[in-house]
Chain A
């Protein structure tokens, strides 16, 4: 199983939208390698014929009647928002200059 490099952790942090600083990367990369090494033991434990389990209960197709029930009011839904405006969530710009 591969070791995880500092550069790889930096890339994963970009994917995970966490702005890790240099000190955090230095700290995390070796720890993650140790963790990965210890979980690597499962490789080869289960053969190709073993079906995967994604969920402990064999539940499929959970339906309910299509009935309208009361939900949160706009005011309630926005109460915890960092910023709101005209009954909407107010967010930073979502596009770059070049887009």
Chain B
């Protein structure tokens, strides 16, 4: 019951608003915010009923034919409950924040309609009980992301960014679909997540030691599924869409491109961890891609000047962290590390959970700044905001501290869990990459904080900045509280599944993260204190390793040029051989029988019709009689 409210309410809200927003006008906002409030309450009820048994229930039929059962199944367990809380809670706060941020936007109803569509699609991913349902909503979040990034579609950059996001995700979905097909085939038509977990688990017919197990197949299926996460969670090499997605309104960046949708890839991987655990090679590749993304994006972040871009690269980097944790966790399971407790949490989910709050808060904080500075996003044109916007400053500082992993804040615990599992994975490179990323994170976040909030205002915009209105500050404050405490048991009781049990004996990990924090922020304070322009300039990082340029060449050569060549070949050969050549031959022949040609198409068509009938008549009525 609760699950169907959470899922279907935003659907109807989106449908009503998107199809009728010119008639609805202001009511659209009420419908959307109202539906998100009710969803949140229903979600709390779902959490309160956490003692109920985990289950998968059929909610709505979709496709049910033969042994294909691709329906809307709702899967309620610890992970989906926890994730549902993140989605509906941050969703609600972002709806409230948007009331202020989008106040003067002409297309406000369309914005809120798309936001409801997003809430619907994201809920679908979280509750999905089978992979086809997951894929359906996976694509739908892609659509809502497309609509929201392109909210200001009149701007060429926004229009291009939305297209880029959709297409990059499509490449990921290409792999995801292949993975689903392989699992569908191997598991005899069931893509139910519980069934698959049993089939690939220890003792299952496709598990590691079973006769039906094929290492190559398992790796291929795991990597295909992973490609879906690479697209949605913006991992290397499909990471390029996420920074551009910052063209969307800032509340959207907070909700979709920081806290929830981009984390869906990680959520899906954790759901599919049975598959990754069955393949050592896939686990290593996933951990490697995650670590590489984390490090690479952190390097890029150090040289960005747009406040949202710094946060976007930071999101990339943190997503890399989570993906690395997924891979590393599978590796340590393969190495036989015992998991503690009856149903231990997953470090990737733990980091996803803490990250969702502080990163959403940082984005909303940046939104408040952008709003106050009249849509100025360059941090070097800010400065001194600490005095003008105290609430924003303090909350932003808390978020920054949590992200950097200052001890005792939420981010510290989850980062330590990630580094701990990297340490346990038996691959020292992962751990080192994780520690280096932690240092870089501390560096770029301290840089952002100093340049934007300290010193003197560098432009009029920042000089006249004023604290944002209450509807915008309130969500910041709530999220700040979560950023501080969300990792603690008293806060996270309904969300235990997120939190792995405390792992003992990781002195190395603890000191490494503290050291990384000191080096990173110390370096940034030393370099950036009192500066009015960037003292260091590294073109490679500022230009994002030239990925966009490389991909532009690839698209130009492999797609547009190829399309041009194929079109030319198709015209010459196919049309030439199949149509023109026979036509020419017939024309020669026809020169002799010119008499018949009158030159009117009507006549020809008539002849053709008559001819066909004549042939039918001959073949049907005359030929058989000749036989007798």
**A and B: partners?**
no
The interface of chain A, by Cβ under 8 A from chain B, is none
- Chain B positions within 8 Å of A, measured between CB atoms, are none
